[in-house]
Amino acid sequence: MIRSLRIEVPATSANIGPGYDSFGLALGLVDSLTLTVHDAPVDTETVVTVQGESADELPRDRSHLIVRVLGEVLAELSPETHRRFIDRITLESVNRIPHSRGLGSSAAAVVAGIALAGALSEAAGGPRLSRAEILERAAVIEGHPDNAAPAVVGGLTISLSDPARAWTVPVRTIGEVTVLVPEVRLDTKTARGAIPQDIAHAVAAGNSARTGLLVHALTTDPSALLEATVDELHQEFRRAAYPESMDLVDSLRARGIPAVISGAGPTVLALTDSVPAEAVPAGVRALTVPIAEGGFRLSAEV
């Protein structure tokens, strides 16, 4: 039987401007997790140890998102495996993905929990989970697949819902991007609630055209990136939720840098490996990271 599982899951940036709820990009900023199977039951109050981002805020018991998702999926996949092992596991987490910043931290946690459950089930002779099945389950939990898809398969993804499916697009015009992470946080539900139910036909048509252009810009012609990342569908409606971030997007775009809000914000994503230091406001972390290929990485020790 497996003694431990190690998984690395990348941060993700969803939307990429006009690609609302469909485009996602995996980033080389990863959470590293080690699941250990012990010989005897463990203390239920200290199931999880956490280092890094939000270490002082996250629960240490089974209410931790990764452990909770793992338990729910394992119980459904293989009730016998769940009965045998759920009381004997601990999780060590090294968090590098900032939380509540629009970088897919919850999607990474959900993907990790599902993947770990599938690996435990398979090791005990139960059902396994393919990456497509992991994505489907993650999309149900998250509500949409745009953040989960890059964490599962890597690179630039275009995803559809019901059922969740994702296609990868080879990014050839950029190798690294810059994420500009503010100190403030934003709840995803708050950001989504700012978008009206009805959108003008001209706005929808314009965004559809630019999503097609964005694929062309990322695969063939980087000179089109600035125009291809114009968005009228979600960012402007959310301006009041993250005014400083939108001011930063505006100032970077005025410099010719293709910048957008990352996911639900407030992080800003610049599709370049070079943002001038003088363009970065005080209190904002500028991190240049590669595009992460291949999605999560899972290994086992027996």
Query: Residues forming the annotated binding site for ATP?
Result: 98-108
Detail the residues annotated as belonging to a binding site: 98-108
d(CA 227, CA 20): 16
Using DSSP's 3-state secondary structure scheme, residue 105 falls into: helix
Rounded-to-integer distance, Cα 161 and Cα 165, Å: 6
Judge contact between 147 and 295, C-beta under 8 A: no
Task: Provide the 10 A C-beta neighbour count for residue 126.
Answer: 17
Specify which residues 270 forms β-bridges with: 178, 259
Tokens of 246: 């939108």
Strand-by-strand arrangement of the 268-270 sheet: 259-261, 268-270, 176-181, 285-290
Task: Quote the CA–CA distance of 279 and 21 in Å, as a whole number.
Answer: 28
In 3-state terms, what secondary structure has residue 249?
A: helix
